[in-house]
């Protein structure tokens, strides 16, 4: 839905991803952090009706058309809204065992699933401060990248199919400063069916 943007409900209960992500983390992450991004995005766009008809994807793809006075606020909060909406959707209780179809073939071309997991984990560990590690489709090919803060790959014409949040608020309650432990555990809740859908959509585009 375009402006005003709203906080999407979690597609599962707050405690569904335990023991890998706690109920407390999910409550704070979704209800406090994501809600703040939505509220701040709506506030930034309030006096700019030209952008009210754009879906969040299109808003981020056209970020250079956003007035400079509010552009960084839209990057921070629009990216935060889009990134987190995807994040909730690509997780599910118990995960799904492995990628299938075209995504599985693309992952194999990068060295296989375990190699790709390690590449994403390394990208997340190397990200200084806050940010994300991603699997994106870029020019029809699958790539591993990372971005700072809430920057979204859509702004660089890359389509994210999987992203893991490495802001401290995503893991500090459960893992303290052990980002690496969080990244390893996170793969247990990845919804590969959803990631595959996003990959198919990206490659058809």
pLDDT at 97 over 90: no
For the cut 80, the answer to whether the pLDDT of residue 205 exceeds it is: no
Using the predicted structure, report yes or no on whether residue 1 has a pLDDT greater than 90: no
Average pLDDT, rounded, for the chain? 97
pTM: 0.98
List the structure tokens of 58. 């299109």
pLDDT band at 150 (very low <50, low <70, confident <90, very high): very high
CA dihedral for 147, 153, 157, 161, sign (positive or negative):
positive
Is 184 a residue whose pLDDT tops 80?
A: yes
37 contact partners, CB below 8 Å, separation of at least 6: 76, 77, 78, 80, 81, 84, 150
Q: Give the total residue count for the chain.
A: 205
pLDDT at 96: 81
Locus of tokens 């590449």? 119
Task: Give the per-residue pLDDT at 190.
Answer: 98
pLDDT of residue 36: 98
What sections of the chain are H helices per DSSP? Answer: 23-26, 35-45, 56-61, 68-89, 101-109, 113-126, 172-175, 179-186, 192-204
| Whether pLDDT at 66 is above 80 | yes
Which residue is associated with the tokens 């996003």?
Answer: 198
> Could you give the CA distance from residue 47 to residue 155 in angstroms, rounded to a whole number?
22
In 3D space, the residue among 137, 134, 122 whose CA is nearest the CA of residue 179 turns out to be: 122
* Residue among 117, 116, 127 at smallest CA distance from 179: 127
Q: What is the mean pLDDT of residues 189-203?
A: 97
Q: What structural domains and CATH numbers belong to the chain?
A: 23-89 (1.10.287.990), 101-204 (3.55.40.20)
Higher pLDDT: 204 or 30? It is 30
Please tell me the distance from the alpha carbon of residue 145 to that of residue 154, in angstroms, as a whole number.
Answer: 12
Say if CB 164 and CB 124 are below 8 A apart. Answer: yes
């Amino acid at each position: 839905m375009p402006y005003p943007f709203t906080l999407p409900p979690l597609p599962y209960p707050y405690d569904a991803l335990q023991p890998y992500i706690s109920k407390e983390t999910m409550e704070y992450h979704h209800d406090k952090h994501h809600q703040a991004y939505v509220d701040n995005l709506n506030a930034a766009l309030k006096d700019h009706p030209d952008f009210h008809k754009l879906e969040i994807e299109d808003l981020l793809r056209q970020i250079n058309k956003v007035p400079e006075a509010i552009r960084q606020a839209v990057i921070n909060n629009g990216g935060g809204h889009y990134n987190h909406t995807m994040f909730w959707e690509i997780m599910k209780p118990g995960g799904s065992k492995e990628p299938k179809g075209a995504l599985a073939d693309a992952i194999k071309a990068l060295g296989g699933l375990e190699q790709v997991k390690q590449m994403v984990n390394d990208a997340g560990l190397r990200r200084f401060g806050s940010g994300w590690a991603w699997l994106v489709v870029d020019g029809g090919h699958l790539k591993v990248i990372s971005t700072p803060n809430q920057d979204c790959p859509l702004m660089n014409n890359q389509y994210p199919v999987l992203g893991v949040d490495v802001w401290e608020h995503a893991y500090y309650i459960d893992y303290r400063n052990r980002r690496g432990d969080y990244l390893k555990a996170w793969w247990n809740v990845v919804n590969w069916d959803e990631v595959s859908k996003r990959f198919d959509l990206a490659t058809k585009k």
